[in-house]
Structure 1
Amino acid sequence: MDTKINKLEEIDKTKNPFKVPENYFAQFNQEIMDRLPEKEIVVPEPVSMWDRAKPWVYLAAMFVGLYITINFLMKTPGNDNMTENQIASQQTLSGSYENTDNYWSTVQITEEEFYQYLEEQLVDDSYFDYMYHQYYLN
């Protein structure tokens, strides 16, 4: 064990045992670049007009498909190519009112007829008696 310690003491501590070759760092980049393989320069291919427009065409096709699907699902059966006005006029002519949403817009009635109808309903359904607390016993 003494031999190892003696050898360490023999080393001159004022002198640095490690040396770097002269101009090593000045030429370092150039040496690394010389060792690398040659890189091929790839010319980018030009982008065609179709490749640029393709996402927009797909987006438009999606919205058209969505529109057609919604129209197909919302279509009432039996009235394929008729608008609401055509359906209302056909119902008025035929006298059948399957769609009650448009019924009151096509009825022609005077104010007097309307009040007469309400009065008949009140009397027939005994609401008149109920409102005025008049009950008739039979």
Structure 2
Amino acid sequence: MTEEELRRKIGTENPFKVPDGYFEGFAENMMRLLPEKAAEETHPKIGVGRRTWRPWLYAAAAVCAVALIIGAVHRADSTRAADYVAEYTEEEMSDYMATSLFDEYTLYSYLTDEE
């Protein structure tokens, strides 16, 4: 069935009916039926609201996170090869060097952190 056939068969009238004059006093009747409520005076709140301090809180959290990350990276970098070498005695180092395949250039570059 096409739309045109449906309109001929059923019609185009609105099947829902509203009594005459129903909406003429609707607002007054509704207000009469509702309980009366005293109007409250509202004053703007004085002080710091959430919208004011929330961005500052986020900024402080970001600064703390950056400080922690920088501290962790700095701590990881502070343990250099020279610090590890300083823990051993000369005798231990000479024994190690005698058994390893290091030449002097590699040793110097290792101790000065150059590559």
- TM-score, normalised to structure 1, is 0.33
- TM-score, normalised to structure 2, is 0.37
Ranked by relative contact order (alpha carbons within 8 Å, sequence separation 6 or more), the top structure is: 2
Larger radius of gyration: 1
